[in-house]
Amino acid sequence: MTELTTIGGGCYWCFEAIYQRVVGIASVVSGYSGGHHEHPTSEDVYGGKTGHAECVQVSFDPKIVSYKEILEIFFTMHDPTTLNRQGYDIGEMYRSVIFYHNEVQKQTAEDMIAHFAADIWDDPIVTQLVAYDRFWPADETMQDYYNTNPNSGYCMAIINPKVQKLRQKFSAKLKPFED
């Protein structure tokens, strides 16, 4: 039986590529959550008026990969200390946020913020912890981006280094995956 988590920490393409490579992950969908506009398009979100965050919705088997392990990867693979920014991506749509689906996820995320993220980052953690409400998948051209566009400049310059970092830090948790 799978569970869901919805998290954002900058560009959804990065987290999509990362979590697709982790054992126990059944699916990863790029999209938007946390806003006030129904059925947002990418143009709506990047216009800055919907309040949505770019995020991924991850379906996972907790018998294989725990929610805590998913959050360990989350806090290691992006900078949770920069408000509304990841690298060159700036705006509230790129905020660090965890949309918890139940009280167990909320408590686990609170603990991970206080005792894991705070231990690996020097600056204060600004990751928002928000009750999950709705998730809107991005359009089809935004899905599976890294795997279908590995030679694009963005993938080579931004996502490749993150995938390499994932391999270095979490090699025991990775699927056999050909890039």
- Residue among 11, 14, 55, 155 flagged as catalytic: 11
Residue 11 is a catalytic residue: yes
> What DSSP string runs through 51-118?
--EEEEEEEE-TTTS-HHHHHHHHHHHS-TTSTTEETTEESGGG-EEEEESSHHHHHHHHHHIIIIIH
Q: CA separation (Å) from 63 to 69, 83, 178?
A: 11, 33, 24
By CB atoms closer than 10 A (0-12, 13-18, 19+), residue 81 is middle
Active site members: 11
